[in-house]
């Protein structure tokens, strides 16, 4: 290799060693192999040489070009690796540091109560059923044997909506989830065992009533169902829900148009202290009864073959009793402080084997 080529090689190697980043490296590469680079200029001079000199000089230049290309490429990879390592070191995240605290969301007490009811009745073989919030007058009243003169059908108690089309009956915001029972009996062959929790609407608003509230109704239709099955089912539910195996439960005669006989269910309660399960007083918590034969007939079922019982309870009412909440309106005020106090972790499922 001639002296000028050896000098070019040594200068290029020294410049590559002195390059500390990719910008300086690229300047060496362009200054050597670029269009105006020193080696490129030497290659352009080959055209002015004799054939023998061009052959000898061209071979030396090609060997130098290959060597310098390898050196430049290797140095570029070294600098890229060094830059990446430096970036990783500078941007390293210390995973041992504690994470920033995050506010924990909580389940609303109504949601939790519905989950617990579903778990308890689910263990008894009940299925969950749902229906529309806007019902026809027939599903909400007529099919349930509610007479036309019944006070519940007046504008003072029920929210009526315009009919879908002229000549059709008015619609209502359902006053109870009993319409789900009717839809289930119409659409499913017995035996039937369902609960229907959901929103209901009535024209009432005070400390113990709300125009929108939640109910959970249940229905059992099977052959040979008796009042004893009703009493056993609801006694077991109340004792499991309030977590009191010896909770006093009383069944008291009452009247509902869709059941016969009808009854209201009371639990032991102290009027003085408000404590459940103690004292000599009684507190009504839900209504129930054997399904009226007319209701069965309205749904196409023969009362001589099928019998059943139905029940209904206010979810807010049971939640208030369970947690000692004094005012129904606080359920809907969206007070985060109230929810932090009465809310439940979503990571704590309502399962019977966890000790409901």
Given 60, 90, 120, which residue is the final one in a domain? 90
Q: pLDDT at position 53, please? A: 79
* Cα distance between residue 321 and residue 121, in whole Å: 19
3-state secondary structure of 73: helix
Verify that 236 and 194 share a domain, yes or no.
Answer: yes
Verify that 207 and 322 share a domain, yes or no.
Answer: yes
| Number of domains the chain contains | 2
CA angle, residues 74, 76, 80, in degrees to nearest 5: 120
* Cα distance between residue 139 and residue 145, in whole Å: 10
Residues sharing a CB contact under 8 Å with residue 23, sequence separation 6 or more, in sequence order = none
In b/e form, how buried is each residue of 56-70, taking b as 16+ CB within 10 angstroms?
ebeeebeebbeebee
Q: Are 202 and 211 in contact (CB under 8 A)?
A: yes
CA angle, residues 152, 154, 159, in degrees to nearest 5: 90
Verify that 194 and 76 share a domain, yes or no.
Answer: no
Q: pLDDT at position 208, please? A: 65
* Cα distance between residue 168 and residue 146, in whole Å: 19
Verify that 224 and 86 share a domain, yes or no.
Answer: no
Instruction: Print the domain residue range for 54.
Output: 2-90
Asked whether residue 17 is assigned to any structural domain, the reply reads yes
Residues in the annotated binding site for Mg(2+): 260
Read off the pLDDT of residues 70-102 as tens digits, 9 standing for 90 and up. Answer: 888 898 899 899 888 888 888 877 778 788 888
Question: How many CA atoms lie within 13 Å of 47's alpha carbon, on the beta-carbon side?
Answer: 3
Asked whether residue 246 is assigned to any structural domain, the reply reads yes
Asked whether residue 96 is assigned to any structural domain, the reply reads no
Asked whether residue 98 is assigned to any structural domain, the reply reads no
How far, CA to CA in Å, does 6 sit from each of 13, 17, 37, 137?
11, 17, 16, 103
Asked whether residue 14 is assigned to any structural domain, the reply reads yes
* Cα distance between residue 49 and residue 341, in whole Å: 95
Given 63, 90, 117, which residue is the final one in a domain? 90
Residues in the annotated binding site: 260
Asked whether residue 347 is assigned to any structural domain, the reply reads no
pLDDT per position in the chain (356 positions), as tens? 567 788 888 888 888 888 888 888 888 888 888 888 887 887 787 778 888 777 887 788 788 888 888 888 898 899 899 888 888 888 877 778 788 888 888 999 999 999 999 999 999 999 999 999 999 889 999 899 888 877 777 767 888 888 888 878 788 999 999 999 999 999 999 999 999 999 999 887 766 677 899 999 999 999 999 999 999 999 999 999 999 999 999 999 999 999 999 999 999 999 888 889 887 899 999 999 999 999 999 999 999 999 999 999 999 999 999 998 988 888 988 899 999 999 988 887 776 544 44
How many helices (H) and strands (E) are present in the chain, helices listed first?
A: 11, 10
Residues sharing a CB contact under 8 Å with residue 265, sequence separation 6 or more, in sequence order = 234, 238, 249, 250, 251, 252, 284, 285, 286, 287, 288, 311
């Amino acid at each position: 290799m001639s002296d000028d080529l050896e000098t070019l090689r040594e200068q290029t190697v020294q410049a590559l060693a002195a390059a500390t980043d990719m910008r300086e490296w690229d300047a060496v590469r362009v200054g050597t192999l670029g269009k105006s680079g020193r080696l490129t200029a030497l290659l352009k001079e080959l055209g002015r040489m004799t054939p023998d000199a061009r052959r000898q000089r061209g071979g030396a230049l090609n060997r130098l070009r290959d060597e310098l290309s390898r050196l430049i490429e290797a140095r570029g990879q070294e600098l890229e690796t060094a830059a990446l390592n430096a970036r990783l070191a500078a941007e390293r995240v210390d995973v041992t540091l504690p994470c920033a605290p995050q506010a924990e969301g909580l389940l609303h007490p109504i949601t939790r109560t519905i989950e617990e009811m579903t778990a308890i009745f689910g263990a008894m073989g009940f299925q969950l059923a749902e229906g529309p919030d806007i019902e026809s007058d027939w599903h909400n009243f007529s099919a349930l044997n509610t007479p036309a003169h019944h006070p519940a059908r007046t504008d003072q108690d029920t929210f009526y909506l315009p009919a879908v089309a002229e000549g059709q009956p008015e619609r209502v915001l359902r006053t109870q989830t009993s319409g789900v029972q009717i839809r289930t009996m119409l659409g499913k062959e017995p035996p039937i065992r369902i609960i229907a929790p959901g929103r209901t609407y009535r024209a009432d608003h005070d400390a113990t009533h709300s125009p929108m509230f939640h109910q959970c109704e249940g229905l059992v239709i099977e052959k040979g169902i008796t009042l004893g099955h009703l009493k056993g089912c609801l006694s077991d539910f109340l004792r499991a829900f309030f977590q009191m195996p010896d909770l006093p439960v009383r069944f008291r005669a009452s009247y509902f148009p869709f059941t016969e006989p009808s009854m209201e269910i009371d639990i032991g309660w102290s009027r003085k202290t408000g404590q459940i399960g103690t004292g000599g007083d009684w507190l009504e918590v839900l209504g129930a009864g054997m399904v009226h034969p007319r209701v069965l007939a309205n749904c196409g079922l023969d009362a001589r073959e099928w019998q059943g019982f139905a029940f209904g309870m206010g979810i807010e009412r049971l939640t208030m009793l369970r947690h000692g909440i004094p005012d129904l309106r606080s359920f809907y005020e969206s007070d985060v402080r109230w929810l932090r106090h009465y809310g439940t972790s979503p990571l704590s499922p309502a399962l019977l084997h966890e000790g409901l």
